[in-house]
Amino acid sequence: MSAVLLSVRDLSVTYGERRVSFIPEITVEAGECVAIVGESGSGKTSALLALLGLQPGAHVTGSVNMFDVVDVLDDPARISGLLGRKVALVSQSPISALNPTMRIGKFAEAVLRKHGRTKAQAREQVVEALAAVALNESVLRRYPHQISGGQAQRFAIALALSLGVELIVADEPTSALDVTVQADIVTLLESLRRDRGLGMLIVSHDIALVSGFADHVIVMKDGEVVESGTVHEVIGSPTTDYARALIDAVPHLDRSVL
């Protein structure tokens, strides 16, 4: 049995009086990809940020266990001890996650040094991770505006790898990218999961995109989970009209391959 990296129960996110997201259960094991899909506004990002303790304006309840740390939301020190060490958030807008005034290499060095690496270790780990994501080392001399969105997303993933994280949480990691680049990033994430056993929790509005590599799919509508099951169950034989509509909206989603 694989190690459980993330275990969430009854996660509820409320802004003021309005509950925008409720997810009864999420479990991510090593080497497993869980996808949360649903139309815009269904509460996906709110849930993702909440379980990482990154939604300060929200009232969050529920239990989140990550690695060997229980109830990480009860104490900010618990989650801050995990972020960048065991778990990394990959965002929708990779370029804005960088510092516009810093060359990429300096930025990477600063992040790794903040996490206790020496300058030499930082350099070595970044170079190694760039190779793993097939990025040329020349990006280290560039500024964020001088690289493409796809390169920036590869770099964000490389930074997570150089930190040695075991769980990647990604919010629409390909939405801001061109279609061909989207496929490259999905292929990269898939290879990291397969070859390194990383766990992944991916949020997307694009069911076609996640159907190719998620093991488990959670479908959300208006803040509630309407379906949750293996990719075969949910894409192959959806039980709700909503999930069926999401799937049918994708012209080339070939259910027969599942």
Binding site for Mg ion (CB under 5 A): 45
Interatomic CA distance for residues 118 and 61, integer angstroms = 38
Q: Which is nearer to Mg ion, 45 or 162 (CB)?
A: 45
Interface region with ligand ADP, contact rule CB under 6 A, candidates 42-50, 157-165, 194-202, 210-218 = 42-50
- In degrees and rounded to multiples of 5, residue 106 shows phi and psi of -65, -40
45 near ligand ADP (CB under 6 A): yes
Q: Which is nearer to ligand ADP, 6 or 36 (CB)?
A: 36
Minimum Å gap between C-beta 172 and Mg ion is: 6
Q: Residue 244: CB partners within 8 Å, gap ≥ 6?
A: 238
149 near ligand ADP (CB under 6 A): no
Tokens at 237, concatenated: 């034989």
Interatomic CA distance for residues 136 and 255, integer angstroms = 37
- Residue pair 200/216 in contact (Cβ under 8 Å)? The answer is no
173 near ligand ADP (CB under 6 A): no
Minimum Å gap between C-beta 138 and Mg ion is: 33
Q: Residue 165: CB partners within 8 Å, gap ≥ 6?
A: 84, 85, 86, 87, 88, 198
Q: Which residue is nearest to Mg ion (CB)?
A: 45
20 near ligand ADP (CB under 6 A): yes
46 near ligand ADP (CB under 6 A): yes
Does residue 130 sit in helix, strand or coil? helix
Q: Give how many residues touch ligand ADP by CB under 6 A.
A: 12
Interatomic CA distance for residues 207 and 7, integer angstroms = 23
Number of alpha carbons in the 13 Å side-chain half-sphere of residue 166: 15
Partner whose binding site includes residue 15, from ligand ADP, Mg ion, none (CB under 5 to 8 Å by kind): ligand ADP
Interface region with ligand ADP, contact rule CB under 6 A, candidates 35-43, 115-123, 157-165, 237-245 = 35-43
38 near ligand ADP (CB under 6 A): yes
Tokens at 206, concatenated: 């694009």
57 near ligand ADP (CB under 6 A): yes
- Residue pair 231/220 in contact (Cβ under 8 Å)? The answer is no
Minimum Å gap between C-beta 179 and ligand ADP is: 20
Minimum Å gap between C-beta 126 and ligand ADP is: 31
53 near ligand ADP (CB under 6 A): no
- Residue pair 183/16 in contact (Cβ under 8 Å)? The answer is no
Give the number of other CB atoms < 10 A from CB of residue 215. Answer: 16
Given the rule CB under 6 A, which residues bind ligand ADP? 15, 20-21, 38, 40-46, 57
